[in-house]
Amino acid sequence: MLLGFRTKLKLNNRQKTIMTKHAGYSRWVFNWGLKAWSMTYQEGLKPTANKLKKFYTNYVKPHYTWQSQLSSRVYQYAFVDLDNAFKGFFNLKGTGYPKFKKKGMNDSFSLDNCGKWIPLGSTRIKLPFIGFVSTYEALPDCQVKKVTISKVGEDWFISFAYEQERQIPEKKTAIVGVDLGIKTLATLSNGEVFPNLKPYRKAAKKLSRMHRNLSRKVKGSNNRHKQRIKLASQHQKVANLRRDYLHKITSYLAKNFSNIVIEDLNVKGMLANRKLAKAISELGFYEFRRQLEYKCRLYGSKLTIVERWFPSSKTCSSCGLIKTDLSLSERIYRCKCGLEMDRDLNAAKVLANQAVGYTVLACGQSAADGSE
Ligand SMILES: [Zn+2]
């Protein structure tokens, strides 16, 4: 199934300038082509976009050195645009005779990787010629031959068409409970664990050290300014590491399980414990849930969210008995029935047991139309 995707780019000023230059390049070439087409036609010739492109490549482009500093793919696609514009006109598609492009009106350009694939996914991607750019929303894991960059208002967008590999639900393992924690980021009811990332912990440590350094620097000083910039980039680094890791986990879950059960994350107790609440928000649990929601929609999985008052960590996954005296420091869950299990694993299994009978708050195929 071929799907379209379009999302906003997160660009710095340098990148915005590069995009503006390329959009300008594309417009310039399109307008040149349109003018040349009209002139040659009036002289009794039969212009085509391809003939004009050849002429342009050999006799026009070499005169404009600024164009050699930009991606040559852009002007190739400007001629494709011109071709399409005339096809629309000749086929009487109601588009009329092609018009000159104006600056600030539908600014856009297209890029490809000279026939090679462009891998996409997560919120950071490498575009041919342009280099790394970020998006606010994660892109689907896919590869494409061509992307289009366009400007709407003051914002830049990326769009592309991609082939979606739809997972067949029958192939997925049916149900998984996911317990989110601090020591172990995610524990699955089948025993798989996603530990908290070491590089992330290292980077986060460095970040807090840099925070302390900054507070020691004299206000308004050059050194403080320099430290500020360093701090900002470290912040970015930590955030990227975390996001990428969360994407790995949420993609894995959405692709491999047909029903994923998590706890509502405003969990009881966490609110009472401010330190714990802070740690949890830093680990990006809200981001985790957001990603999981849209990926479940994408891969046709069901996301079950167990209500916040449910005592998942205190319940025995085997006999259902609820312990009233379980402290946070107890890592092993022990029950009268003989069950002895890692505390997080037990909680994940308890969540998996809740897959049936609980309200589905957010998912692609909700409980109501869970015919699949
Ligand atoms: Zn038990």
Residues 59 and 157 in one domain: yes
Compute the distance from residue 318 Cα to the ligand 1 centre, in Å.
5
Q: Judging by DSSP bridges, how do beta strands 257-263 and 173-180 pair with one another?
A: parallel
Give the number of domains in the chain.
2
Compute the distance from residue 343 Cα to the ligand 1 centre, in Å.
13
Compute the distance from residue 185 Cα to the ligand 1 centre, in Å.
25
Q: Are the CB atoms for 245 and 287 separated by under 8 Å?
A: no
Compute the distance from residue 369 Cα to the ligand 1 centre, in Å.
34
Reduce the DSSP state of residue 6 to 3 states and report it. strand
Report residue 358 as tokens. Answer: 């609980």
Q: What is the CA radius of gyration of the chain?
A: 27
- Tell me whether residue 179 is one of the annotated catalytic residues: yes
Give residue 298's domain range: 169-195+248-369
Burial 187-211 (b: 16+ CB within 10 A, else e): bbbeeeebebbeebeebbeeeeebe
Catalytic residue among 81, 112, 179, 293: 179
Compute the distance from residue 187 Cα to the ligand 1 centre, in Å.
20
Q: Which of 239, 285, 274, 10 is nearest to 132 (CA)?
A: 10
- pTM reported for the whole predicted model: 0.50
Residues 154 and 182 in one domain: no
Residue 243 counted as domain residue: no
Element (H, E) at 279: helix 274-282
Side-by-side strand order, sheet with 118-127: 108-112, 146-152, 155-163, 2-10, 131-144, 118-127
Residues 102 and 188 in one domain: no
Q: Are the CB atoms for 22 and 75 separated by under 8 Å?
A: no
Catalytic residue among 81, 112, 293, 344: 344
pLDDT computed for residue 277 by the predictor: 58
- Count how many residues are written for the chain: 372
Residues 115 and 149 in one domain: yes
Residues 124 and 144 in one domain: yes
Compute the distance from residue 168 Cα to the ligand 1 centre, in Å.
35
Task: Please enumerate, as own/partner, the contacts of 165-168 that have beta carbons within 8 Å and a separation of 24 or more.
Answer: 166/1, 166/299, 166/300, 167/255, 167/299, 167/300, 167/301
pLDDT computed for residue 114 by the predictor: 84
Task: Please enumerate, as own/partner, the contacts of 313-321 that have beta carbons within 8 Å and a separation of 24 or more.
Answer: 313/179, 313/343, 313/346, 313/347, 313/350, 315/346, 315/350, 316/346, 316/350, 317/341, 317/346, 317/347, 317/349, 317/350, 317/353
Residues 304 and 178 in one domain: yes
pLDDT in tens, the chain (372 residues): 677 788 899 999 999 999 999 999 999 999 999 999 999 999 999 999 999 999 999 999 999 999 999 999 999 999 999 999 999 888 877 778 999 999 888 899 999 988 888 988 888 999 999 999 999 888 888 889 899 999 988 899 999 988 776 544 445 568 999 988 777 788 999 888 888 776 667 777 787 788 788 778 877 888 888 888 888 777 777 777 777 888 889 999 998 898 999 987 654 455 555 665 565 556 677 788 888 988 888 888 889 988 877 788 889 998 888 988 877 778 889 888 888 888 989 999 999 988 864 433 333 333 333 332
How far apart CA 225 and CA 204 sit, in angstroms, is: 21
- Tell me whether residue 344 is one of the annotated catalytic residues: yes
Q: Which residues surround ligand 1, an ion (CB under 5 A)?
A: 316, 318-319, 321, 335, 337, 339
Residues 156 and 175 in one domain: no
Compute the distance from residue 322 Cα to the ligand 1 centre, in Å.
8
- Tell me whether residue 263 is one of the annotated catalytic residues: yes
Residues 16 and 153 in one domain: yes
Residues 36 and 131 in one domain: yes
Residues 6+ apart with CB under 8 A from 334: 340
Compute the distance from residue 316 Cα to the ligand 1 centre, in Å.
5
Residues 155 and 15 in one domain: yes
Catalytic residue among 81, 107, 263, 293: 263
Number of alpha carbons in the 13 Å side-chain half-sphere of residue 279? 13
Residue 205 counted as domain residue: no
Residues 265 and 345 in one domain: yes
Domain boundary among 163, 180, 207: 163
